[in-house]
Amino acid sequence: MITESSAPPSTTLHGAIADILRNPGQHLLREWNWKAALFSAALRAPIFFISDHHAAAGQALGAMLTEAVFAAGLGGFLGSVIQRLRDARPLWATALIMLVAIPAALVGVQYVVHTWVSPQKIRGSLVASFLLAALSTGFNWFAMEQGAILTDGQADSLGADLQHIPLIIYRFLMAGPRALFGKGLNSSIVE
């Protein structure tokens, strides 16, 4: 099922967002993306342990466990949003939502959660978290366009997704150079 995305746009960004707002139970609960939740917790939790290494071991472990629960919960919701918006157009506006708005919202909620659970210095963790959120949201978007990390009726198994991840990572890393040198600067970004 993993293919390079060249499908025509299936929806407008405005229509997709309106659909999510009209049917939040459907898009945020019933379509909660457990694969995105799993990957999010596995990637994000260690950052809080490593960046809080200067704290007592219990505090660093607490920050890591808090982040694991937070990342899994919110990651599943964000994964369902990304899955719903993955083919939305215009591409530039969808990219702005994916790479700026979603990571900023994530870090805002994350700040509240970590401050409430353990008020400590987490500024460095939050900066790293925003950068990772932008990168991981972009990757999830790309992977979902490729047919991976999906949890709808067209989804492959987690095992199949894991087999395809190395190729998807390669394609993701090469997408920028291909856009600049392969297709030119005026390609799909203005769709």
Residue 3 belongs to a domain: no
Residue 148 belongs to a domain: yes
Determine if residue 120 is left, alpha or beta; phi over 0 gives left, psi from -120 to 50 gives alpha, anything else beta: beta
Residue 5 belongs to a domain: no
Res. 189: pLDDT tops 50: no
Residue 90 belongs to a domain: yes
Count of structural domains, the chain: 1
CA 177 to chain centre: 22
Structure confidence at residue 135 (pLDDT):
92
Domain of 52?
12-190
Structure confidence at residue 58 (pLDDT):
73
Residue 6 belongs to a domain: no
Residue 53 belongs to a domain: yes
Residue 50 belongs to a domain: yes
Single pTM value for the model: 0.78
Q: Average pLDDT of 63-76? A: 83
Residue 2 belongs to a domain: no
Mean pLDDT computed over every residue of the chain: 83
